[in-house]
Amino acid sequence: MSSNIHGFNNYSGNEKDVEIKSNISDSSKDDKIFVKSIYKILTITTFLLIINIIIFIIQIIAYYAYYKIKDKSWDCLLMSFGAFQGGKIRNHYHFHRFFTSMFLHNSTLHLVSNCISLFFLGYHVENEINNKLKFILLYLISGLSGNFLSLLFDQKNISVGASGAIIGLCGYFVIYFILNYKNMGKAKKISYAIIFVFLFINLFSGFFEKGVNMAAHFGGLLGGFAFSVIIIYKKNKKLNIRLAKILLAIAILFFIILPILTLIVVYTKKIPNYTDGICRT
């Protein structure tokens, strides 16, 4: 292995020394790339931040220009703009709500919290993947997975926000860390450890807060795990191959089973129309 890395075939010295030097060299290079990436502003993350902010501004303008004047509630506005709600999807086949709800927010604090998270996570993940299409797919698939899982566990409540998609970005860090630990530099390992703390807080703090859609959080994380395995498996050749193949099989099963379960709920389970009268004056 070490002879291939260093580009020669015959070596009479200590093979372990060569391997250690190679790892140090790779780690140092990895750290330089990682630190440099912190200051690189990439377009998709910036675009997502701008879109979320613009849509929330439109929500505020629409509320005060129309909904409040007509004595309609904020929940009515959210439903009109495409908030996620199981009853609307099951009874009226509003499948667009799986997607549109990811770009709506319930309050200024909700928006700021998600934008800060996206700012710190998005640029790193986008730079690491280095493929704009794969990055946007990771974001959207994580958000959709969160909403799919929400439909399985909660058909009553209104849900909005980018949390599932953003936590899916955390999922990328977890999978990358597991499969590339031996190839990572020290600075990167420390940074990832901080991200894991952030992920833990985001996932489990919701248990102590009212109104947090925990199904969307866990669904987004699982979707991020699954799609990240596919991305990393195809991109990186220095993987723990055996573990990568196991995770790849699990990821494929996840993307088969979750949509099937969601369709079963949509087409078989009767869900009351909890929100049908929400926009009536």
- pLDDT per residue as tens digits for the range 137-190: 999 999 999 999 998 887 778 899 998 999 999 888 888 888 877 777 777 778
- The residue annotated as part of the active site, out of 27, 124, 191, 217, is 217
From CA 128, how far away is CA 40, in angstroms rounded? 11
Tokens of 225: 């795990």
- Does residue 21 register a pLDDT over 50? no
φ/ψ of 212, rounded to 5, equals: -85, 130
98-150: pLDDT as tens digits: 999 999 999 999 999 899 989 888 888 898 888 899 999 999 999 999 999 99
- Residue 216 near residue 159 (C-beta atoms within 8 A): yes
For the purposes of burial, counting CB atoms within 10 Å of the CB of 279, is it exposed (0-12), middle (13-18) or buried (19 or more)? middle
From CA 126, how far away is CA 138, in angstroms rounded? 10
DSSP string, 24-76: HHHHHHHHHHHHHHHT---HHHHHHHHHHHHHHHHHHHHIIIIITTTT--HHH
- Classify the C-alpha dihedral 175-232-222-44 as positive or negative: positive
- The residue annotated as part of the active site, out of 101, 142, 150, 163, is 163
217 is catalytic: yes
φ/ψ of 84, rounded to 5, equals: -80, 130
102: nearest Cα among 213, 239, 236: 213
From CA 253, how far away is CA 67, in angstroms rounded? 44
User: For the whole model, what pTM was predicted?
Assistant: 0.79
Integer-rounded Cα Rg, in Å, for the chain is 22
- Residue 9 near residue 15 (C-beta atoms within 8 A): no
Write down all domains in the chain, each with its CATH number in brackets: 33-268 (1.20.1540.10)
Model confidence band, residue 8 (pLDDT cutoffs 50, 70, 90) = very low
Q: Note the pLDDT of residue 106.
A: 93
80 is catalytic: no
- Classify the C-alpha dihedral 205-207-208-212 as positive or negative: positive
From CA 276, how far away is CA 205, in angstroms rounded? 31
